[in-house]
């Protein structure tokens, strides 16, 4: 493996140290998207603003003198990709006089922080299937080094992106968490929150209005869904508390380099609602957790759409409910938001194959009536959006699992399906050859 070169120069305006007198200078740094996300990643470690800035300085501006101190005391704002940092100098430490400072206009940055990625490997819902995760990472040419998987193949710099739902159901909860968290913290991966991580946060958040209750009530049903996690990571353990705090730092969506990632559904309306509450890079607050668990609140609706996907009411369209596999009666159907052209009830509503009406007869075809409100979820963005959540069956179907601008990567790994990734190369069009599954599908014998 070729030795990596970790230093390079990025042309950013260095604080001009002019006079040799004491003073301060402020500089606006244009951050590459990767650096920006790297920076946000540091912010998500629950650092205070000062600590974060000092980390930032360490990462971005390692050639600054020790005594040129960033003076921001507030967190820099995520206004696009620009960041304003003010440096304070005294006469003896102005950068221009510093011996060995080769360039006033270039600062040395760690290369892995500034190089744009050649591509991203977007990985589906894991649900505690650590063996499949390791198998998939190895197929994608990630190698473990010092406890962290990192892309080590021939294709330049790549990063993994997890679409959420690391936990619940599977038998390897801790291994999965440790593996993914190590990658996210080392910057070899990013991750968005899934509904299972959000549920875990809510399950651990006391209800301020009812003593002894939690925002996600500890009912038999909710206990059951969360059982593998709480069995393997007892709620009184330090790991439990640390894990819940880490979940709060996960973003609800990601957008950079021409791609978008969300657990269940990209919705500009839902994103705008969440932006009122959560600043980029800041952890989810308890206030938001409480709001987002109040049925009917805009925050609840936004979280439902982003993490579980939008639904359409069958009864509101005078259609019968259906009985799902678990004999639960459903009056709402999932919306096929990935179908940009969907307009009618039949096109919009996803009725699972083989379900019946309440009296046991096969569910009839839905009418062709036009819907208006629900088409708001039709994805019409130009950037491809990658998502998980939908428990699809391998192999991917065109129009359903992938379109020109939507890519589902959840193929039910914990229910016997493969764990799936989509290898996105910068600028490439969506195409099913970019799907990679583990275990690998046996190809049919050809004649």
Q: What is the C-alpha to C-alpha distance for residues 170 and 78, in angstroms, rounded to an integer?
A: 37
Residue pair 311/332 in contact by the 8 Å Cβ criterion: yes
Distance of CA 245 to the CA centre of its chain: 16
Q: Which residue is nearest to Mn ion (CB)?
A: 389
Chain positions 401 to 440 lying near Mn ion, rule: CB under 5 A, are none
Q: What is the C-alpha to C-alpha distance for residues 207 and 64, in angstroms, rounded to an integer?
A: 47
The distance of closest approach from Cβ of residue 169 to Mn ion in the complex, given in angstroms and rounded to an integer, is: 10
Stretch that binds Mn ion, among 37-45, 268-276, 389-397, 425-433 (CB under 5 A): 389-397
Site string for Mn ion, 46-85 (x = CB under 5 A): ----------------------------------------
DSSP H or E run through 50: helix 49-60
The distance of closest approach from Cβ of residue 89 to Mn ion in the complex, given in angstroms and rounded to an integer, is: 51
The distance of closest approach from Cβ of residue 250 to Mn ion in the complex, given in angstroms and rounded to an integer, is: 13
The distance of closest approach from Cβ of residue 414 to Mn ion in the complex, given in angstroms and rounded to an integer, is: 11
Please choose, from the candidates 261, 265, 341, 345, the residue with its C-alpha nearest in 3D space to the C-alpha of residue 301. 265
Of 127, 150, 389, 392, the residue at the interface with Mn ion (CB under 5 A) is 389
- CA angle 372-378-384, nearest 5°? 170
The distance of closest approach from Cβ of residue 26 to Mn ion in the complex, given in angstroms and rounded to an integer, is: 44
Which is closer to Mn ion, CB of 165 or CB of 347?
165
Residue pair 119/26 in contact by the 8 Å Cβ criterion: no
Which is closer to Mn ion, CB of 37 or CB of 389?
389
Which is closer to Mn ion, CB of 110 or CB of 194?
194
Which is closer to Mn ion, CB of 60 or CB of 408?
408
Q: What is the C-alpha to C-alpha distance for residues 368 and 346, in angstroms, rounded to an integer?
A: 6
Residue pair 393/412 in contact by the 8 Å Cβ criterion: yes
Which is closer to Mn ion, CB of 42 or CB of 266?
266
Burial profile 245-283: b = 16 or more Cβ within 10 angstroms, e = fewer: ebbbbbbbbbbbbebbbbbbbbbeebbebbeebeebbbb
Stretch that binds Mn ion, among 46-54, 180-188, 198-206, 382-390 (CB under 5 A): 382-390
Q: What is the C-alpha to C-alpha distance for residues 434 and 418, in angstroms, rounded to an integer?
A: 15
Which is closer to Mn ion, CB of 32 or CB of 165?
165
The distance of closest approach from Cβ of residue 234 to Mn ion in the complex, given in angstroms and rounded to an integer, is: 24
Site string for Mn ion, 335-374 (x = CB under 5 A): ----------------------------------------
Chain positions 241 to 300 lying near Mn ion, rule: CB under 5 A, are none
The distance of closest approach from Cβ of residue 334 to Mn ion in the complex, given in angstroms and rounded to an integer, is: 12
The distance of closest approach from Cβ of residue 109 to Mn ion in the complex, given in angstroms and rounded to an integer, is: 37
Q: First CA to last CA across the chain, in angstroms?
A: 39
Q: What is the C-alpha to C-alpha distance for residues 412 and 395, in angstroms, rounded to an integer?
A: 11
Site string for Mn ion, 151-170 (x = CB under 5 A): --------------x-----
Chain positions 189 to 228 lying near Mn ion, rule: CB under 5 A, are 194-195
Token output for 49: 């603003």
The distance of closest approach from Cβ of residue 163 to Mn ion in the complex, given in angstroms and rounded to an integer, is: 9
> What SS3 state is found at 377?
helix
Please choose, from the candidates 163, 357, 378, 144, the residue with its C-alpha nearest in 3D space to the C-alpha of residue 252. 163
Total residues binding Mn ion (CB under 5 A): 4
Token output for 289: 């957790």
Residues interacting with Mn ion, by CB under 5 A?
Answer: 165, 194-195, 389
């Amino acid at each position: 493996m070729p030795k990596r070169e970790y230093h390079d120069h990025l042309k950013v305006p260095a604080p001009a140290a002019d006079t040799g007198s004491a003073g301060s200078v402020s500089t606006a740094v244009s951050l590459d998207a990767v650096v920006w996300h790297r920076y946000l990643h540091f912010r998500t470690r629950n650092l205070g603003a000062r600590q974060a800035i000092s980390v930032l300085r360490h990462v971005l501006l390692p050639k600054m003198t020790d005594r040129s101190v960033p003076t921001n005391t507030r967190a820099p704002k995520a206004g696009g990709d620009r960041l304003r940092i003010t440096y304070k100098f005294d006469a003896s430490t102005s950068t221009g006089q510093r011996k060995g400072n080769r360039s006033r206009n270039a600062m040395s940055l760690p290369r892995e922080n500034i190089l744009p990625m050649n591509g991203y490997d977007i990985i589906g819902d894991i649900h505690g299937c650590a063996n499949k995760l390791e198998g998939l990472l190895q197929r994608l040419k990630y190698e473990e080094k010092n406890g962290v998987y990192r892309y080590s193949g021939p294709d330049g710099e790549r990063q993994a992106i997890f679409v959420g739902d690391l936990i619940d159901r599977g038998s390897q909860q801790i291994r999965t968490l440790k593996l993914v968290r190590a990658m996210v913290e080392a910057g070899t991966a990013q991750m968005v929150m899934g509904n299972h991580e959000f549920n875990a946060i809510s399950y651990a958040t006391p209800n301020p209005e009812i003593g002894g209750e939690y925002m996600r009530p500890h009912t038999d049903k909710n206990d059951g869904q969360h059982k593998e996690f709480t069995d393997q990571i007892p709620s009184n353990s330090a790991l439990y508390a640390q894990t819940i705090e880490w979940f709060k730092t996960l973003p609800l969506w990601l957008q950079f380099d021409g791609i978008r990632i969300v657990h269940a559904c990209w919705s500009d309306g839902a994103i705008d609602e969440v932006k009122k509450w959560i600043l980029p890079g800041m952890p989810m607050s308890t206030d938001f957790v409480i709001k987002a668990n109040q049925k009917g609140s805009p925050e609840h609706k936004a979280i439902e759409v982003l993490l579980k996907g939008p639904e359409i009411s069958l009864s509101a369209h005078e259609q019968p409910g259906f009985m799902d596999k678990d004999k639960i009666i459903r009056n709402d159907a999932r919306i096929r938001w990935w179908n940009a052209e969907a307009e009618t009830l039949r096109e919009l509503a996803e009725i699972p194959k083989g379900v019946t009406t309440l009296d046991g007869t096969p569910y009839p075809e839905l009418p062709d009536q036009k819907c208006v409100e629900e088409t708001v979820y039709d994805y019409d963005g130009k950037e491809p959006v990658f998502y998980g959540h939908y428990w699809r069956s391998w192999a991917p179907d065109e129009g359903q699992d992938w379109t020109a601008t939507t890519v589902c990567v959840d193929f039910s790994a914990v229910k016997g399906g493969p764990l799936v990734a989509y290898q996105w190369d910068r600028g490439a069009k969506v195409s099913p050859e970019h799907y990679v599954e583990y275990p690998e599908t046996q190809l049919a014998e050809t004649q």
